């Protein structure tokens, strides 16, 4: 009973946050991030560990500054999920601008490779604008949540404009069908999802466990692969969802080389805006040759 009431209270809170003036919502998020950055916690330790591993050239003061900047933006993105999950099409359009170097209405088999910047959930804008722009629907893998109530709710909210969330566990056939039908397929391969169908390739000069799904699916479905990044605008007034031209000579006949290439592309993008990357994830938890986890 108490758990059910707590779940409903969170749903109500998300709705309340979604109707606040956007500037107020952002300020609340920045305040939440400011507090989180200064409370000792496991995730705070994960952020610092990741930053030390990826930027060994930075001083301790520089690492702490970057850590605080990251939490500031992470706090903002957390409260902005109220709009992502419960907001209107207009709210999403006001918050996120789409710029694409490919014709999104041509229905070519295409995979959009999304990175875990703080604005990653902004990809929902493609679903929100699909009908008016005659774009196909958006499909993508989702990771099951431990809370069954919110697992179902978030799927419902993400799909409210006609999107299609596909359980990543054992549903590759469904995803291949969507690719061949010309749907937008979004995959975010830059997190550690376990050793199955993965390889160790360099990421910030660290051998990093990375899934090979993008290369394999692109090859099977004869799909082009474009990079999609959703990042803060320079004035922090909102987000820009950018879709690149297709990667040249991708996929190749070697999934490991393709995956390594993607990791290098990700690293280049992250170095342009390091505070926006999702450093709270234990990106290096699985290690080659039974090495000890840095966490």
pLDDT in tens, the chain (295 residues): 677 788 888 889 999 999 999 999 999 999 999 999 999 999 999 999 999 999 999 999 999 999 999 999 999 999 999 999 999 999 999 999 999 999 999 999 999 999 999 999 888 999 999 999 999 988 877 777 777 888 888 889 989 998 888 776 656 787 888 899 888 899 999 999 999 999 999 999 999 999 999 999 999 999 999 999 999 999 999 999 999 999 999 999 999 999 999 999 999 999 999 999 999 999 999 999 989 999 9
Quote the Cα angle for 45-48-52, to 5°: 140
Burial class of residue 128 (count of CB atoms within 10 Å of its CB; 0-12, 13-18, 19+): buried
Which two tokens mark 76?
């903002």
Let me know: does 91 contact 82? Beta carbons within 8 Å: no
Residue 98 included in any domain: yes
Which two tokens mark 104?
């999104």
Residue 123 included in any domain: yes
Residue 294 included in any domain: no
Which two tokens mark 43?
């995730």
For the residues of 183-245, what is the DSSP string, one character each?
A: -EEEE---S---STTEEEEEETTEEEEEE-HHHHHHHHHT-EEEEEEEEE-TTSSSEEEEEPP
3 state DSSP class of 97: strand
Q: pTM of the full predicted structure?
A: 0.93
Domain count, the chain: 1
Which domain does 178 fall in, by range? 2-288
- In Å, how far from its chain's centre is CA 94? 20
- In Å, how far from its chain's centre is CA 134? 24
Residue 293 included in any domain: no
Residue 283 included in any domain: yes
Residue 136 included in any domain: yes
Residue 118 included in any domain: yes
Which two tokens mark 41?
């916690």
Which two tokens mark 229?
């990044």
Q: Give the integer Cα–Cα distance in Å for 72 and 117.
A: 13
Residue 295 included in any domain: no
Res 170: pLDDT: 58
């Amino acid at each position: 009973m108490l758990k059910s009431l707590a779940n409903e209270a969170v749903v109500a809170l998300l709705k309340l946050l979604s109707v606040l003036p956007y500037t107020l919502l952002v300020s609340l998020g920045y305040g939440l991030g400011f507090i989180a950055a200064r409370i000792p916690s496991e995730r705070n330790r994960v952020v610092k560990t990741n930053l030390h591993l990826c930027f060994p050239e930075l001083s301790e003061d520089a690492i702490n500054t970057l850590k605080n900047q990251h939490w500031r933006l992470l706090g903002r993105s957390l409260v902005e999920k109220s709009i992502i999950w419960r907001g209107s099409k207009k709210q999403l359009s006001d918050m996120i601008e789409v710029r694409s170097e490919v014709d999104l209405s041509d229905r070519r088999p295409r995979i959009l490779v999304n990175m875990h910047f703080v604005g990653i959930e902004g990809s929902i804008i493609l679903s929100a604008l699909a009908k008016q722009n005659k774009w196909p629907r958006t499909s993508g893998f989702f990771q099951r949540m431990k809370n069954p109530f919110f697992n179902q709710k978030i799927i419902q909210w993400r799909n409210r404009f006609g999107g299609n969330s596909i359980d990543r566990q054992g549903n590759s056939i469904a995803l291949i069908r969507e690719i061949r039908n010309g749907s937008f397929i979004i995959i975010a391969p830059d997190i550690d999802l376990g050793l199955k169908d993965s390889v160790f390739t360099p990421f910030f000069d660290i051998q990093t466990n990375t899934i090979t799904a993008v290369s394999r699916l692109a090859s099977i479905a004869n799909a082009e692969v474009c990079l999609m990044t959703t990042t803060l605008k320079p004035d922090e007034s909102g987000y820009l969802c950018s879709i690149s031209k297709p990667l040249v000579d991708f996929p190749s006949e070697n999934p490991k080389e393709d995956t390594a290439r993607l990791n290098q592309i990700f690293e280049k993008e992250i170095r342009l805006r390091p505070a926006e990357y999702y450093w709270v994830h234990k990106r290096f938890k699985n290690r080659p040759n039974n090495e000890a986890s840095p966490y």
